[in-house]
Structure 1
């Protein structure tokens, strides 16, 4: 299995004033997520992830590919990636 930069066993929290995106990547290929809006509705889906390259992954749900993360970079406690083509910054907790 190809390795990735993802910090397994730690929580990623999107840096955003309005959107909630939290992810916890397990070493077994699972991803627990909390997705929604701050002060609004949220859901907590469970995904699987597949490593595409050292800096790219796919998040999979029951219907197939939910999201593709590319250009993953970690600098200290910050992870940057392009998620479905959009730049995202996450705090690593």
Structure 2
């Protein structure tokens, strides 16, 4: 069993509390993938978000991780902005 399986994926609140950069294992938990798969994807530049290599260590920028997962502090479910954007409001008023 992998670390991601043992601890489960990260919750939204855990993701928002992450530091500026995290290791590949933490980012893998966010995606619900295992450690071995995560490192294999990182080595072949196929990880779901950008991975930086610092010597032998791999790091993921949390901002990019959150962007790929469509998670932002101002929304509750990652599905988009919590308030209508000006273009949404214009579309609603122009439907008449």
Shorter-chain TM-score range: under 0.3
Task: From the two aligned structures, give the one with the greater helix fraction.
Answer: 2
TM-score, normalised relative to structure 1:
0.23
Q: Report the structure number with the largest CA radius of gyration.
A: 2
